[in-house]
Every structure is written in C-alpha cells, then in structure tokens.
C-alpha cells in the first residue's frame, strides 16, 4: 500500500468524523497525520513490515494509535476503527461534499439533523423542499445544490 493511499484513508476518516461531530482533537490528529504521511519520503508499508508500529512512531504526527492503525491497514487493507465508523456512518456521506454548494458544515448539518447520508438521500430531500429547513442555506446556495443534483 502506497503512502498516498494510507493518507487518503486517514483523510476520509477525518472527514467522516467531522461530519459526525466526533471529537475535534482526534479528527485533527488524523488529518495532520494524513498530511505528513502523504509526503513522507519512505514507504510506510516498508517501515511497518520491517519495524512494526514502533518504527512508525518516528514520523511526526504519528502516535501509538495511528501507528498501529497503519500497520493494520498495511496488513489487512483496512483497520477496525475505520470499519466500525463506516458501519455507523456510511462512506457515501462523503459524496455530499461533491455537490456544489455543500461544504463540510452543511454536510454535517444535513447528516446530523436530517440523517442524509448519500447523494440520493440529498436529491429526495431537496426535491421535497427540505433545504428551506436548513440553517445557513440561502436561496442561491439552495439553487446551486439543486442544479448540481440536476434538479433544475
């Protein structure tokens, strides 16, 4: 597994956690680790294989918990904490961020208050006039969201 793939998994984890409203400090820790991992000059899979979790601790922003997740990710292609998280909150919630007019705060509001966790959910919600109930979404943003979902 390449460093970019490992970093992407931690970025996705951080985004899902942010949308869910999980602990800000843990979310930031995963995001910071992802930034460092993405540009780390040595393949982390090699470090994990040769030195295990202890060898990964030399990387800035990678502590014990993240290093063990990297080892598990390199061995299994996934890690338990990610699997538990997506069992509770599907990865499709990240598709909301691809909709023009929907940023992280709006995605979080849509998911937490209205249980929207996919583009299809959002399409139905918008078609039914649901955006009128979302704080922070004005008329222009609502139009942009509807256009992005091919509803206008």
**For the residues 45-66, what does the mean pLDDT come to?**
95
Average pLDDT of the chain, as a whole number: 94
HSE-CB for 5 with a 13 A CA cutoff: 10
DSSP-derived secondary structure letter, 117: -
Task: Give the three-class secondary structure for 75.
Answer: helix
Number of neighbouring beta carbons within 10 Å of residue 149 = 20
- Separation in Å, CA 46 to CA 9, 67, 98, 137: 18, 13, 33, 46
All domains in the chain, ordered by first residue: 3-88 (1.10.150.110), 91-148 (1.10.150.20)
pLDDT at position 61 over 70: yes
pLDDT at position 152 over 70: no
pLDDT at 135: 87
**pLDDT single digits (tens) 83-130:** 999 999 999 999 999 999 999 999 999 999 999 999 999 999 999 999
């Amino acid at each position: 597994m390449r460093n970019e793939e490992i970093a992407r998994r931690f970025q996705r984890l951080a985004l899902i956690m942010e949308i869910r409203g999980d602990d800000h400090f843990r979310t930031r820790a995963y995001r910071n680790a992802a930034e460092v991992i993405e540009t780390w000059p040595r393949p982390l899979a090699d470090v994990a294989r040769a030195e295990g979790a202890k060898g990964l601790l030399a990387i800035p922003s990678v502590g014990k918990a993240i290093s063990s997740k990297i080892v598990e990710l390199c061995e299994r292609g996934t890690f338990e904490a990610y699997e538990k998280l997506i069992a509770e909150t599907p990865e499709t919630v990240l598709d909301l961020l691809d909709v023009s007019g929907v940023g992280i705060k709006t995605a979080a509001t849509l998911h937490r208050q209205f249980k929207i966790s996919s583009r299809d959910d959002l399409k139905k919600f918008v078609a039914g006039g649901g955006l009128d109930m979302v704080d922070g979404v004005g008329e222009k943003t609502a139009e942009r969201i509807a256009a992005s979902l091919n509803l206008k």
